[in-house]
Amino acid sequence: GSVLFAAGAILPLVPQVSDELIDIIYFVGSSLYLIGASVQVVQGRRQRLNDRRGPKNVRSFANRNSLGAGVQGFGAILFQTSMTGALLSQLSIGQQEAVIWAPDLIGAICFVTASSIFYSLHYPIQHRSQDPEEARFLALLNIIGSAFFVLSAVGAYIVPLTDQPIYPFIANLGTLVGAVFFFLSSIPGLPPRHLPGVGSRA
């Protein structure tokens, strides 16, 4: 998803690339974000159920992880709504603000909020790292990436008199930088290239 969002921010600089193609790339990218966020919501809910009878500090940890995952999931739904709206044609300026711009901005704010919740935890559900400092650092990268997505949404505000984004350069730059930070924070969670024991002799 991060790679596709970065590509969507770069492609406007390439001649003869249609806006429709860019919108489709963003739509697919947001769909992948939504899938990942949905998985984390399920994980957070499962953790909350499993730890509900544990010590108070364990229950609090599980509840906050679940809360962060829920806020992030809601933001992902708003992102998907925004990217879906971008595929629609013949929307008035008011409809574009309601269907595309507002969900984009609120979704980015939800991502900042969720990342902040994860940062406050020693072992955020986003990253199953054995090192709490590394896990919090990765959550910090998500905060920065989410903040750039907020900046992108602000730059993408449609000026009523011109029917154009107020700061298109900032909108694309914010998306690109935000996607890069999201990608960097996701690398430790990718499957290992070589699984232990695979290809070895018994």
Q: What is the mean pLDDT of residues 114-135?
A: 70
> Which range, 57-61, 78-82, 137-141, 162-166, is most confident?
78-82
Binned at pLDDT 50, 70 and 90, residue 63 comes out as: confident
Q: What is the mean pLDDT of residues 164-182?
A: 87
Compare 59 and 178 and report the one with higher pLDDT. Answer: 178
Q: What are all long-range contacts of 82-86, with beta carbons under 8 Å and residues at least 24 apart?
A: 82/30, 82/107, 83/23, 83/26, 83/27, 83/29, 83/30, 83/31, 84/27, 86/23, 86/26, 86/27
pLDDT number for residue 111: 92
Query: Does the pLDDT at position 193 exceed 60?
Result: no
pLDDT number for residue 202: 32
Q: What is the mean pLDDT of residues 176-184?
A: 89
Question: By percentage, how much of the chain surpasses pLDDT 90?
Answer: 15
Residue 81 tokens read as 């709504």
Are 52 and 63 spatial neighbours (Cβ–Cβ below 8 Å)? no
Tell me how far apart the alpha carbons of residues 158 and 151 are, in angstroms, rounded to a whole number.
14
What does pTM read for this prediction? Answer: 0.78
What's at 121, amino acid-wise? L
Tell me how far apart the alpha carbons of residues 81 and 147 are, in angstroms, rounded to a whole number.
19
